[in-house]
Amino acid sequence: MKCLNCYNLVEKEFCPNCGQKSSTHRFSLKYILDMAILNEYSMFDKGFLFTLKELFTRPGHGIREYIQGRRISYSNAFSLLMLLIAVVYLLDGYTGLKLADITSKNGQDFANSIDELTTNYPKLIYLINIPLMAITSYIFFRKSKVNFVENIILNTYISSAIILFSLPFILLTIFYKDKSILSIIFIQLLPLITFCYTLCVYYQFFSEYKYKKRNIIFRSLFAILISSILQGMTYMGIVGLKNIL
């Protein structure tokens, strides 16, 4: 058989040319659970810097290649996400800035509740966001035959990149306290960056699946919009349930 990473002929368990396992299969739920649990703390591997480069330079193409079998050069999607969540959690202890500090008075109660969730359960937001994003990308691009678990991986990498984009602004809050400027950054600029990046990733990722360019853009827009609505509804439901209890 041929190695899915370098296309070299492979006769044993590992490719003699690049070292990737020859038994590289499509992702399944069991494989994802094993990878998320067993490899969560295998964060610093040789693929870390390469993965960051790919997420900034050709994210959709790189993630698609990873899912299709070129995996040895990339960091585990879940390990990368957990590492970045840990970094943000540590930085939050130095910023002293809460979402409620830069929102309008009408939204402070909701913002305080979200702050409490993210502070006490930093992984919860991503456990909510990623499956909802995966559901919508799976539905709108189901003809691509990319399965649901592979959509989870796609959106896990997107979430990691979004955290990376937010890090400079989080660092800024340690030294800069102008609430009017910070509100523009965190309420307007970061959501815009998130939207544009996700749109770019979806466009690149699904460009090899025989969709027309215009069709990819419209499907991506609807997937992002609906997942955002679902996320907002889920947060409101959690906050409402918490207030009742």
pLDDT tens sequence across 49-82? 999 999 999 999 999 999 988 888 888 888 889 8
**What average pLDDT does this structure show over 38-47?**
56
Range of the domain at 135: 29-244
Per-chain mean pLDDT for the chain: 81
Residue 11 lies in a domain: no
- pLDDT at position 41 is 46
Q: Which amino acid would we find at residue 105?
A: K
Interval 177-201 mean pLDDT: 86
112, with CB counted inside 10 A (0-12, 13-18, 19+), is middle
CA distance 225 to 131: 15
Judged against a pLDDT cut of 80, whether residue 223 lies above it is answered with: yes
Mean pLDDT of 28-49: 64
Q: Which of the given ranges, 84-88, 225-229, 239-243, has the highest pLDDT on average?
A: 225-229
Contact 229, 133 (CB under 8 A): no
pTM summary value: 0.85
Mean pLDDT of 11-27: 68
Structural domain total, the chain: 1
The pLDDT of residue 208 is above 80: yes
Instruction: Assess whether pLDDT exceeds 60 at residue 37.
Output: no
pLDDT in tens, 113-143: 566 666 666 677 878 899 999 999 999 999 9
pLDDT of residue 4: 66
17 within some domain? no
For residue 4, how many other CB atoms are within 10 A of its CB? Answer: 20
**Residue 9 forms part of a structural domain:** no
Which among 168, 154, 88 has a CA at the least distance from the CA of 123?
Answer: 88
pLDDT over threshold 90, residue 156: yes
Residue at 233 is within a domain: yes
